[in-house]
Amino acid sequence: MSSTSKKRAAPSVTSSSSSQSSRSTASSNYSLSRLPPTDPERRLNAADVRRQVSNAPTVSRAKRDAKKIWNRSGPVKQNFPSPHKFHNQERLVLSSPPPWLEQVIAPKGRDHRQGDPKGRARGVFNKSDKSTVDVAYHEKDLSAGDTGFVKADYRSKVPSVHGKSKKNKKQKTS
């Protein structure tokens, strides 16, 4: 495989809250290219995906929250709380080592809550480390009986160093 045909690894979550790191990843995205062009989940903001995974509850808390919803409103059409174990039956090449968890990713900037309808996209990450995230998604509607996952392509929009003007490279000296 040539170096030009290799897929780019998924980015890591950084704990830094500097404006530079948030600015450079703000337009990076995950492309769920097998979804219809009008699907709101077709392109997911990478920084938002990492934020949602970072905010995901522990598995035990997710189970407890799902149970509360079930007790309050009767059975909820939700087989698994989120996050839960990702089995990788499709043998996707993932950036982090197993064991993996999957977290439902809500489109357009808000976190998925227990009891919300599940969309097609999932953030997949190592059970002990949320810093490296991949996105997998259901190509077809779950009601059609398709449970297989496809890995989303990560598309970086970080500007190259060569494209910056000299003014942008200057730093203040203290």
Please write the tens of the pLDDT for every residue from 22-73: 334 447 999 999 999 998 889 999 999 999 999 887 766 555 655 555 444 5
Q: Residue 62: inside a domain, yes or no?
A: yes
In terms of pLDDT, which residue wins out, 141 or 39?
39
Q: What is the pTM for the complete model shown?
A: 0.66
Q: Is residue 56 part of a domain?
A: yes
**Over the stretch 78-103, which tens digit does the pLDDT of each residue have?**
456 668 889 999 999 999 999 999 98
In a domain, 113, yes or no: yes
**How much is the pLDDT for 162?**
60
Predicted local distance difference test score (pLDDT) of residue 153: 96
**Does position 123 have pLDDT exceeding 80, yes or no?**
yes
Tell me how many domains the chain contains: 1
What is the longest distance spanned by two Cα atoms in the chain? Answer: 62
Q: Which of 21, 2, 7 is CA-nearest to residue 95?
A: 7
CATH number for the domain spanning 37: value is 3.10.450.30
Can you give the residue range of the structural domain that contains 106? 28-155
Q: Is residue 136 part of a domain?
A: yes
Tokens matching residue 18: 């500097």
Residue 11 counted as domain residue: no
- Name the nearest CA neighbour of 154 among 20, 39, 44, 56: 44
Q: Report the C-alpha gap between 156 and 11 in whole angstroms.
A: 9
22 falls within a domain:
no
162 located within any domain? no
